[in-house]
Amino acid sequence: MTMLKVNNRTLEVTSRPDRTLADVLRNDLGLIGVRVSCSEGECGSCTVLVGGEPCTSCLMLVNQAEGQDITTIEGIGSQDDLHPIQQAFIEEQGFQCAFCTPGFIMSAKAFLAENPNPTADEVSVAMSGNICRCGAYPYIVRSVLRAAEKLRKSSGQQAAE
Amino acid sequence: MGTTQRNFSVVGKGAHVKDAREKVTGSLKYAVDLKVQNMASGKILRCPHPHAKIVRIDTSKAEALPGVLGVLTHEDVPQNDWESAWFNYRGKALDGTGRFVGDDIAAVAAQSEEIAEHALELIDVEYEILPHVLDMEKARESGAPEIRCEGNERDPYIVKWGDTDEGSAQADFTVDCDIFYESQQYAPLGRNACIAEWLGDKVTVWTSSQTPSELRDGVHEALGIPLSKVRVMAMPCGSSFGQWWSNNFMIITVLLARKIRQAVKIELTNEECMATVKRRHLERTRGKMGCTKDGQITFAQIDHLIDNGGYGFKDDVGFFCVDMWGKARNGHYAVHGINTNLVTAGCMRGVGDCTLGASVERLADRLAEKADMDPVDFRIKNQIVAGDELRMQHSRDNMKGNRDAYIASIPPHLRKDWPELFHLSAGGTRAILERGAEAFRWKERWKGWATPHTVDGPLKRAVGVGTGAHVCGVEFEGSSSAMVRINPDGSAKVHCAVGRQGRGSETTQCQVAAEELGLPLDMIEIETGDTDSCPWNHGSLASSTMYRTGWATRAASNDARRQLLEIAAREFFDGIAPEELDITDGEIHPKEEPRSNRRFTFSQVLNELRSETLGQTSSITGRPAVPMPPSTTFARQFGAQFAEVEVDVETGKIKILDFVAVQDSGTVVNPQVLKNQVIGGAICGAGFAIYEHLVFDEETGAIKNANLLDYKLLRCADFPHQAQVLFEESPDPVGPFGARGAGESPIAAGISAVSQAVYNAIGVWVDLPMTPERVVRALNAA
Ligand code: FES
Ligand code: FES
């Protein structure tokens, strides 16, 4: 029995401890936004935040994540209430097939928390841990820049209030 | 030029794609995400030898393992050939012979994937090792091991015009080449899975596929059951680009489910996706080309080999890319398709363009250098423009009977709509080259052949240009259709089986329907996966979705619109002629009075249709009234791309610094969707140019880098984020609202632009992929 804190809920999973976090999130908790492609930490499509840090969940064992805050794409916004980064990816169409998109958005979230006002070059380097086979890269960079702007605006508003 | 002449209300507008919210929230379901009740897990046993025949297969130990539900071997499989689109697969689902390392041999269904995997190890197979051949040149020789009963090589595919001997005599300069292309892997992000479930003698198949109708046909052929008993529900694909059409693992899933009388899911691993399904062909071009002093190409003589692996059957990759340099006075292109004991090869994005097309670009570049001409000017001088005669032969040979009989078979009212057969309908490269050269400041930045514009220690920088062309669907493989239904509330649904490959065609098809119907885009939805509700469609392949399916969607919408206006005219407008009515924003009104108060909604008309006097029909169904004109014979898409690169002559590393891509796909239906396709193509092409290639074991042909760690793909920082995409819109006379196809010309243009830029930087042509080692080796050899 493992207790996982996922998207602000504490959930129980019965699982052998040698299963990967990605497997448990997808198959036991139904969080299919955790996409699995390479299973070897190369493509970034399974990126989730563990304790705020981006992690490739295909390489992490489920018991390593126990007790930490885990955030998946499902935890940051929904179809009716999009996160500003999700909104920005729609506006700049930073995807085609979108298999990579949740991973990019999670990487972007962690990156923008560290660097809220990045240059395009910085975004481009920061997004290079993930792969997009459809080659939406220039529009992914634009999406992240636009997201940064949105997030700065909303945190500016919050500060002013 | 640059814009279309017509005012559209939905076409050309940057609508967000319809499934954008599902995509960014991770809720879009691909086939790997789907589960059905009481579903077993399947796994495929793979051949460990490049060529071997099963002498004996004992499944009893595997069957005895607790949790195993059944094992499928070739002995359970009907020995019928089935075929994937465009000869990407021809063979039986399992026939007791393995033709490459990793080939499908048997399959297990079990309660879990782990048990199924364990059971595979318990299947005892005794193989008779057969002689094998990996090299396509050797596979052609007489006495080579026979891989297929049809022979390893069939007749070549030939396109010819004029007399190349004469052309050669007229040439002032001649160049030749012998270029070998490594194999690119689709390297899909995202895997594929297939679920099959039988109810009685009917089967439903869920999988990620670009070609649902072709898959339904494949199941029908392989199992010998009626089409009416097969329902395919195509799910969205992760990046596919030709990989997920109808694939043998899908047929195996269907057979395994039938054997155990229970739903089965087979999910491929990343390694299986990269090593057992398909890849781009290994290819070799031997060619010669000549031109006069003023740069007129007098002949092109090309002999091109493509390796189809075990189950591919193609030889026709040349017929569309030869048209690009169609102003050559004489030409002879021969393409030979050859089978080997390597994993099957098939159509990957830009098939032929990226290899044969790239060879011809390279020959032309080397001629341009000899003639001391700028590569932009040389292209403009020798590449095709609208109205020029096309060179391909296949369409001519495949027209029903002959050209006149074909024309006679087309309804007269359509005949006037399309250009003369065998001539380019619209576009060409001149406009896109001129536009791109200006945007890229080509004249300033190009310093001549083999001349970098900047040298900074070991770093040399230079620019290059490349062009690419592709067909927009092919007419001699069935007529793609679509259906449009208007519902009682006035909303509409498009049904067209093009799958969901991910580029946004669900949205662009809806835009076409919205434009034709006069409905707002949000009133239109689309079904692209269900073969029970969609008419037959070739699928989204050969760049046909916008051009051919778009034509059908528009024609079906037009038919629905006609029916709607007939009823409206009769019931609401005192029986005036329907042609005197028009539709704006979902309201029907007199054409001459767009602001008239006499306007009726679709739902008012449809409810009238439901009244007692008119019977119980509650919706209108529109279908194309006539088949599509023969598109391959005249429609092409064009891309011209400009790249700036930096080459480190010490390490051999290539960096792409700047990029401009210009595309002519006719009318742009959705600018952002098209930009993504163009840039995505350029990046995939650049990747093929500098990194991507499969490594085959020399002895066995097994793929040694079937994973994303060892198979290198371009990443975000490897491509300039400021890359520009520009459009020229030469309206097409047949395509919907003047639109044509788009996805495949950009990849070819990207390859040639980058490889020419590298040549201009270092003065040596490097074979693709131009990996650092190859660059250094080429420099050392020079
Ligand atoms: S699936 Fe985890 S990094 Fe690729
Ligand atoms: S959008 Fe397809 S892999 Fe990124």
Write out pLDDT tens, residues B605-641.
988 766 655 555 678 999 998 777 777 778 999 999 9
Assign domain B34-130+187-277 to its CATH architecture: Alpha-Beta Complex (3.90)
CA A96 – ligand 2 centroid, Å: 5
ipTM of this model?
0.98
Dist CA B655 CA B262 (whole Å): 53
A7 and A50 inside one domain: yes
Q: Does the pLDDT at position B399 exceed 70?
A: no
Q: What is the Cα Rg of chain B in Å? A: 27
Domain ranges of chain B: 20-27+475-622, 34-130+187-277, 389-423
User: What kind and span of H or E run contains B654?
Assistant: strand B654-664
Most distant CA atoms of chain A, gap in Å = 49
Beta-carbon separation of A33 and B29 below 8 A: no
> Which pLDDT band, with edges at 50, 70 and 90, does B4 fall under?
very low
B600: left (phi over 0), alpha (psi -120 to 50) or beta: beta
Dist CA B222 CA B224 (whole Å): 6
Instruction: Return all residues near A52 (Cβ < 8 A) that are at least 6 apart.
Output: A69, A71, A110, A113
A17 and A61 inside one domain: yes
Dist CA B782 CA B779 (whole Å): 5
Within 8 A of A131 by CB-CB distance, chain B residues are: 189, 708, 713, 715
Within 8 A of A58 by CB-CB distance, chain B residues are: none
Q: Does the pLDDT at position B732 exceed 70?
A: yes
A92 and A114 inside one domain: yes
Dist CA B360 CA B286 (whole Å): 10
**Closest ligand 2 atom to Cα of B189:** 3
Q: Does the pLDDT at position B410 exceed 90?
A: no
Q: Is A97 on the interface with B (CB under 8 A)?
A: yes
CATH code (residue A52): 3.10.20.30
Confirm or reject: Cβ of A37 under 6 Å from ligand 1: yes
> Which pLDDT band, with edges at 50, 70 and 90, does B1 fall under?
very low
Are the C-beta atoms of B730 and B443 separated by less than 8 Å? no
Phi, psi of B701 (to 5 degrees): 80, 0
pLDDT of residue B628: 78
DSSP of chain A: -EEEEETTEEEEE---TTSBHHHIIIIIT--TTS--SSSSSSS-TTEEEETTEEEETTTSBGGGSTTSEEE-GGGT-BTTB--HHHHHHHHHT--SS-SSHHHHHHHHHHHHHH-SS--HHHHHHHGGGS--TT--HHHHHHHHHHHHHHHHHHHHHHHH-
The burial class, CB within 10 Å (0-12 / 13-18 / 19+), for B60 is exposed
Phi, psi of B654 (to 5 degrees): -110, 135
Q: Does the pLDDT at position B642 exceed 90?
A: yes
A30 and A69 inside one domain: yes
Assign domain B20-27+475-622 to its CATH architecture: 2-Layer Sandwich (3.30)
Q: What angle do CA B268, B106, B130 make, to 5 degrees?
A: 110
Dist CA B12 CA B249 (whole Å): 39
Confirm or reject: Cβ of A41 under 6 Å from ligand 1: yes
Beta-carbon separation of B714 and A90 below 8 A: no
Dist CA B413 CA B405 (whole Å): 16
- Ligand sitting nearest the alpha carbon of A105: 2
Instruction: Return all residues near B167 (Cβ < 8 A) that are at least 6 apart.
Output: B290, B298, B299, B300, B328, B329, B330, B331
Per the structure, the complete domain to which residue A101 belongs is given by 84-155
Within 8 A of A73 by CB-CB distance, chain B residues are: 25-26
CA distances from B690 to B687, B750, B754 (A): 5, 11, 8
Residue A57 within a domain: yes
State how far Cα A90 lies from the chain centre.
Answer: 15
What is the tens place of the pLDDT at every residue in A127-146? 999 999 999 999 999 999 99
Strands (E) across B66-172 are located at 68-72, 82-83, 90-91, 97-98, 104-110, 124-129, 157-161
Instruction: Return all residues near B441 (Cβ < 8 A) that are at least 6 apart.
Output: none
Residue A160 within a domain: no
pLDDT of residue B20: 97
Place of tokens 């269907």: B254
Average pLDDT score over chain B: 94
pLDDT of residue B152: 96
pLDDT of residue A159: 77
CA distances from B482 to B540, B545, B743 (A): 13, 11, 21
Nearest CA to ligand 2 atom 4: A132
Residue A25 within a domain: yes
Q: Which of B16, B237, B719 sits opposite A97 (nearest CB)?
A: B237
> Which pLDDT band, with edges at 50, 70 and 90, does A158 fall under?
confident
Cβ neighbour number for residue B182 with a 10 Å cutoff: 18
pLDDT of residue B3: 39
Dist CA B739 CA B727 (whole Å): 12
What is the tens place of the pLDDT at every residue in B770-779? 999 999 999 9
CATH code (residue A95): 1.10.150.120
A7 and A70 inside one domain: yes
Rounded (10°) angle between helices B772-781 and B745-762: 40
Dist CA A131 CA A140 (whole Å): 11
What is the tens place of the pLDDT at every residue in A48-105? 999 999 999 999 999 999 999 999 999 999 999 999 999 999 999 999 999 999 999 9
Q: Is B680 on the interface with A (CB under 8 A)?
A: yes
